[in-house]
């Protein structure tokens, strides 16, 4: 964690990620740089394309360092293909590796999620004390925003993993919402006494009984509680989390499309639209996925932020904002501290994490060549 040393926030960018590569990444960086004068960028990708874009943003010139990368991971590459073809020499790998090497404090990529997660895990390894990575996203709610995790890093979760996610998500919430004890809910289904969610029940017991200092555990929440903003943090395993996220995105789009179609079918409604333009604009802004762009990979020994692949410079700048905040307000240190506090609270039946923590810590020592690690 060398950000403190320089006072700058150094962000590595995978310029080739996403549907539009440097033509979105560079203008996005330029926007973010205006908001954050202490941000610096180390950029990886096709040098010629990057420089052509950079020429349009002279204010960025002194704030970036460009390193050529031969290979660009495509949005269609399977994670294993991406790792085989792109390790060491792809812009994605190099951007992640900059964090590992200490040349950057955080990495942002709009590249494909599976490849980015596999490479991040392979390169950065897990944080000591954490078993599995999770992806946390910002979810627009009736009250503002909540953090939902995991939205697709891992499928299934043991109780211990869910507790870890509650801890990591709370650390992120303390930064994003600037509150001391964010509220946390475990996503569950409403029907009591159903079989098969033993992990969720056990996680609930641990969270309730351990009463951790940096969060308020509120109990179970259901699917409709997410949009209500019932809790600041919603924890679930990655399969249902991913389905919830995509279902919500789909539903919001469906409602908006239906409204648009209904209005365009009638002349009167079109007139109404003109009068109510402000309201429609507010709705559009509220539903704008660019405003909540930036999935944070949690649990790794380094921070990686995933931008939507199809976003524009405005959206990419939002993802950079998220990355900036995570460094500036010391996400990793907050998580590490919260994990240490958990140590005192670990209860019988939920004990394996400490052993694993010790094992992971050992694996992270430089004595073991990182290139021999084959996690995940």
Binding flag, residue 114, a second copy (CB under 8 A): yes
Enumerate residues 353-372 that contact a second copy by CB under 8 A. none
Of the candidate spans 28-36, 153-161, 318-326, 327-335, the one that interacts with a second copy by CB under 8 A turns out to be 153-161
Q: How far is the CB of 260 from a second copy (least distance, A)?
A: 9
Q: Closer CB to a second copy, residue 208 or residue 228?
A: 228
Q: How far is the CB of 157 from a second copy (least distance, A)?
A: 9
| Contact flags string 269-308 toward a second copy, x per CB under 8 A | xxxxxxxxxxxx-xx--xx---------------------
Q: Closer CB to a second copy, residue 48 or residue 279?
A: 279
Of the candidate spans 10-18, 59-67, 89-97, 216-224, the one that interacts with a second copy by CB under 8 A turns out to be 216-224
Binding flag, residue 149, a second copy (CB under 8 A): no
Binding flag, residue 152, a second copy (CB under 8 A): yes
Q: How far is the CB of 310 from a second copy (least distance, A)?
A: 13
Enumerate residues 126-145 that contact a second copy by CB under 8 A. 141-142
Binding flag, residue 187, a second copy (CB under 8 A): yes
Binding flag, residue 75, a second copy (CB under 8 A): no
Q: How big is the site for a second copy, counted in residues (CB under 8 A)?
A: 72
Q: Closer CB to a second copy, residue 230 or residue 336?
A: 230
| Contact flags string 226-265 toward a second copy, x per CB under 8 A | xxx-------x-xxx-xxxxxxxxxxxxxxxxxx--xx-x
Measured between alpha carbons, how far is 119 from 126 in angstroms, rounded to an integer?
Answer: 12
- Three-state SS across the chain? CCHHHHCCEEEEEECCCCCCCHHHHHHHHHHHHHHCCCEEEEEEECHHHHHHHHCCCHHHHHHEEEEECCECCCCCCCHHHHHHHHCCCEHHHHHHHHHHHCCCCEEEECCCHHHHHHHHHHHHCECCCCCCCEEEEEEECCCCEEEEECCCCCCCCCHHHHHHHHHHHHHHHHHHCCCCCCEEEEECCCCCCCCCCHHHHHHHHHHHHHCCCCCEEEEEECHHHHHHCCCCEEECCHHHHHHHHHHHHHHHHHHHHHHHHHHHCCHHHHHHHHHCHHHHHHHHHHHCHHHHCCEEEECECCEEEECCCCCCHHHHHHHHHHHHHHHHCCHHHHHHHHHHHHHHHCCCCCCHHHHHHHHHHHHCCCCCCHHHCCCC
Alpha carbon distances (Å) from 36 to 124, 217, 320: 26, 34, 10
Given 113, 120, 146, 293, the residue binding a second copy (CB under 8 A): 113
Binding flag, residue 224, a second copy (CB under 8 A): yes
Enumerate residues 79-98 that contact a second copy by CB under 8 A. 79-80
Q: How far is the CB of 271 from a second copy (least distance, A)?
A: 5
Binding flag, residue 155, a second copy (CB under 8 A): yes
Measured between alpha carbons, how far is 154 from 319 in angstroms, rounded to an integer?
Answer: 22
Q: Closer CB to a second copy, residue 58 or residue 196?
A: 196
Q: Closer CB to a second copy, residue 13 or residue 151?
A: 151
User: In this structure, is the dihedral angle defined by the CA atoms of residues 85, 78, 172 and 357, taken in order, positive or negative?
Assistant: negative
Q: Closer CB to a second copy, residue 214 or residue 236?
A: 236
Enumerate residues 27-66 that contact a second copy by CB under 8 A. none
Distance of alpha carbon 129 from its chain centroid, rounded?
A: 19
Q: How far is the CB of 265 from a second copy (least distance, A)?
A: 7
Binding flag, residue 268, a second copy (CB under 8 A): yes
């Amino acid at each position: 964690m060398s950000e403190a040393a320089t006072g700058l926030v150094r962000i590595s960018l995978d310029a080739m990620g996403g549907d539009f590569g440097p033509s979105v990444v560079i203008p996005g960086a330029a926007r973010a740089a205006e908001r954050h004068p202490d941000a610096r960028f180390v950029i990886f990708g096709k040098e010629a394309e990057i420089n052509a874009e950079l020429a349009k943003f002279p204010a960025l010139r002194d704030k970036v360092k460009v390193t050529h990368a031969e290979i660009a991971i495509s949005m269609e590459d399977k994670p294993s293909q991406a790792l085989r073809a792109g390790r060491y020499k792809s812009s994605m790998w190099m951007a992640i590796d900059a964090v590992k090497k200490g040349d950057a404090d955080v990495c942002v990529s709009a590249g494909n999620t599976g490849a980015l997660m596999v490479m991040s895990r392979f390169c950065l390894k897990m944080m000591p004390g954490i078993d599995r990575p999770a992806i946390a996203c910002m979810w627009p709610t009736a009250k503002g925003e909540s953090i939902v995790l995991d939205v697709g890093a891992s499928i299934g979760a043991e109780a211990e993993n869910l507790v870890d996610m509650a801890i990591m998500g709370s650390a992120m919430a303390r930064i994003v919402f600037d509150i001391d004890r964010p509220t946390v809910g475990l996503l569950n289904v409403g029907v009591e006494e159903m079989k098969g969610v033993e992990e969720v029940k056990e996680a609930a017991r641990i969270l309730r009984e351990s009463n951790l200092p940096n969060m308020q555990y509120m109990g179970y929440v259901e699917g409709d509680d997410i949009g209500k903003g019932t809790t600041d943090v919603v924890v679930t395993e990655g399969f249902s989390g991913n389905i919830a996220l995509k279902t919500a995105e789909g539903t919001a789009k469906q409602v908006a499309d239906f409204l648009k179609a209904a209005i365009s079918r009638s002349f009167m409604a079109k007139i109404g639209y003109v009068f109510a333009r402000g309201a429609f604009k507010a709705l559009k802004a509220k539903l704008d996925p660019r405003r909540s762009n930036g999935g944070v990979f949690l649990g790794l020994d380094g921070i990686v932020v995933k931008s939507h692949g199809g976003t524009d410079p405005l959206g990419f700048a939002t993802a950079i904002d998220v990355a900036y905040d995570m460094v500036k307000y010391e996400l990793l240190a907050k998580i590490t501290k919260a994990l240490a506090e958990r140590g005192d609270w670990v209860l019988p039946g939920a004990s394996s994490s400490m052993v694993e923590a010790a094992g992971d810590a050992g694996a992270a020592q430089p004595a073991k060549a990182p290139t021999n690690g084959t996690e995940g």
